[in-house]
Amino acid sequence: MEQSRALELVKPHLTESRYTHTIGVMETAIILAERFGEDKKKAEIAAVFHDYAKYRDKEQMRQLVRDDLPCKDILEYSSELLHAPCGAHYVEKELDIRDQEIIDAIKYHTTGRPNMSGLEKVIFLADYIEPNRQFPGVDEVRELAESNLDEAIIQMLENMISFLISKRQLLYPLTLETYNHLITHFEGSFDKE
């Protein structure tokens, strides 16, 4: 799918500011894909559609999870998490995007998961560090992303988890599993004695 067509399809589903964010994620994902040897076209498409369901009716998304999606446990956590798995479903069903790597990158862009593919990592990180994002810690993650994808994601997860704890919000188990997996498999990240 051409970039202009993808943007045309996603734009009606987003607010103006979220569309600006989407452009930032797309541009960042292309840069990261090139930097870390991932497919730039797949990164572009996954980035364009990562928030496809962001503004869908939350109750309809809850019903979709209850009826059709395997991630039933997500219903016990913030409704902000719904748009990723639901968006992956809608992109597949409504737009006929069948590439499983793209679908998974959309599905896990809010939570991450252990053993993420390179493309999933690119979208997960691009969503966090795109140039329109301004919050404490983002510049450090951007700097790490210049040279090491996993190290940048570990720092991103530390920031996210600390923020959620400071707000006394529930932590989705898959996000904690993602962090633990990366820490366990990132060479030199901690002393295993």
pLDDT tens per residue, range 141-184: 999 999 999 999 999 999 999 999 999 999 999 999 999 999 99
pLDDT (0 to 100) of residue 190: 52
Smallest CA-to-CA distance from 13 within 128, 129, 91 is with 91
Where do the H-state alpha helices sit in 80-137? 83-95, 100-107, 118-129
DSSP state of 76: G
Q: Report the distance separating Cα 112 and Cα 172, nearest Å.
A: 10
pLDDT (0 to 100) of residue 192: 45
pTM equals: 0.94
What residues does each domain of the chain span? 3-135
Residues 6+ apart with CB under 8 A from 88: 103, 104, 106, 107
Please give the CATH topology (third level) of the domain spanning 3-135: Hypothetical protein af1432 (1.10.3210)
Q: How many residues in total does the chain contain?
A: 193
Residue 82, H or E segment: none
pLDDT tens per residue, range 58-108: 999 999 999 999 999 999 999 999 999 999 999 999 999 999 999 999 999
Q: Report the distance separating Cα 66 and Cα 159, nearest Å.
A: 31
